[in-house]
């Protein structure tokens, strides 16, 4: 009986730590962009992972990601943003998210946190908040999103450049059929990474494209 219990616990741990089975859904070979999707255990809506390689260093990529007012210029379906609060490596942002007709707009308040690792990697985590008061008064009818999260991981390459990875998952709330949502899901990160590569070429971000002194980088909590 004890042996069976040990075997059962072992199998349970394997299931608990099982990694998503990613499937390549979209690819832009010219720009070195790949988008993968995977199902989620507790949701009919899929999650995504997107990857690209860029010649700029992680600090330059971070400069673009940290330029919150510019998000609508390159992040797919982001219509409007408003910074509610900003601290050193943290920010609270009101976001209006547009969906294709006939679905109405969504909005959310997200919490962003930047972490720098001694390896030179930079992690940016974003989480929708469900207990934050309504940030902006509007006559437009919108659906509030509370189940959304994403992670950017910027990894310096051996010689130069950065491997950019983006994970995202969420629930669109309201009536959005999973079949339609999952079919269109890969397009958003694909378009966002295409536009990100263009943003990285702007002069305003180039001042950050200098070598990083990893001795001065602190380990994330």
Structural domain including 150 reads 20-206
Q: Over the stretch 169-212, which tens digit does the pLDDT of each residue have?
A: 999 999 899 999 999 999 999 999 999 999 999 999 987 765 54
Cα–Cα distance list, 61 to 89, 92, 94, 170, 187 (Å)? 15, 20, 22, 24, 21
Model confidence at 6, pLDDT cuts 50, 70, 90, reads: very low
Q: What is the pLDDT of residues 48-96, one digit of tens each?
A: 999 999 999 999 999 999 999 999 999 999 999 999 999 999 999 999 9
The residue with greater pLDDT, 22 or 218, is 22
Q: Is residue 4 part of a domain?
A: no
CA 41, 38, 221, 109 dihedral sign is negative
Distance CA 34, CA 116 (A): 25
Residue 182, pLDDT score: 96
In a domain, 73, yes or no: yes
Cβ neighbours for 35, distance < 8 A, ≥ 6 positions apart: 24, 25, 26, 27, 48, 49, 50, 51, 186, 189, 190
**Structural domains counted in the chain:** 1
CATH classification of the domain holding 115 = 3.30.530.20
Task: Transcribe the chain into DSSP letters.
Answer: -HHHHHHHHHHHHHHHTPPP--EEEEEEGGGTEEEEEEEETTEEEEEEEEEEEESS-HHHHHHHHH-GGGHHHHSTTEEEEEEEEE-SSEEEEEEEE---TTSPPEEEEEEEEEEE-TTS-EEEEEEE-SSSPP-S--SS--EEP-SEEEEEEEEE-SSS-EEEEEEEEE---SS--HHHHHHHTTHHHHHHHHHHHHHTTSHHHHTT-S---GGGPPPP-
pLDDT at 10 over 50: no
Residue 22 has pLDDT above 90, yes or no: yes
Confidence band for 159, pLDDT divided at 50, 70 and 90: confident
Is there a domain that residue 212 lies in?
no
For the segment 30-42, the average pLDDT, to the nearest whole number, is 96
Share of the chain above pLDDT 90, in %: 73
The per-residue pLDDT for 9 is: 42
Please check whether residue 12 lies inside any domain of the structure. no
| Res. 17: pLDDT tops 50 | no
**Domain assignment of residue 157, yes or no:** yes
Instruction: Check residues 168 and 14 and name the one with the higher pLDDT.
Output: 168
In a domain, residue 197? The reply is: yes
Q: What is the mean pLDDT of residues 36-58?
A: 96
At 132, the pLDDT band (50, 70, 90 cuts) reads confident
Distance, in Å, from the CA atom of 74 to the CA atom of 81, rounded to the nearest integer, reads 12
Please compute the mean of the pLDDT values over residues 122-126 and round it to a whole number: 98
């Amino acid at each position: 009986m004890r042996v069976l219990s040990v075997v059962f616990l072992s199998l349970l741990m394997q299931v608990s730590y099982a990694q998503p089975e990613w499937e390549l859904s979209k690819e832009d070979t010219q720009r070195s962009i790949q988008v993968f999707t995977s199902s989620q255990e507790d949701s009919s809506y899929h999650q995504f992972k997107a990857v690209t390689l860029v010649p700029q260093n992680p600090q330059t990529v971070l400069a673009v990601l940290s330029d919150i007012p510019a998000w609508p210029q390159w992040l797919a379906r982001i219509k409007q943003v408003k910074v509610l609060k900003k601290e050193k490596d943290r920010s609270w942002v009101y976001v209006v998210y547009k969906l294709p007709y006939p679905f109405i707009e969504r909005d959310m308040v997200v919490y962003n946190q930047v972490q720098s690792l001694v390896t030179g990697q930079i992690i940016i985590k974003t989480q929708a908040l469900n207990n934050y008061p309504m940030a902006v008064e509007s006559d437009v009818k919108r659906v509030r999103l509370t189940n959304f999260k994403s992670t950017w991981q910027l990894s310096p390459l051996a010689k130069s450049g950065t491997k950019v990875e983006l994970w995202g998952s969420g629930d669109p709330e309201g009536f959005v059929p999973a079949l339609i949502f999952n079919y269109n899901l890969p397009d958003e990160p694909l378009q966002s990474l295409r536009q990100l590569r263009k943003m990285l070429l702007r002069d305003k971000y180039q001042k950050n494209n200098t070598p990083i002194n990893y001795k001065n980088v602190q380990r994330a909590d």
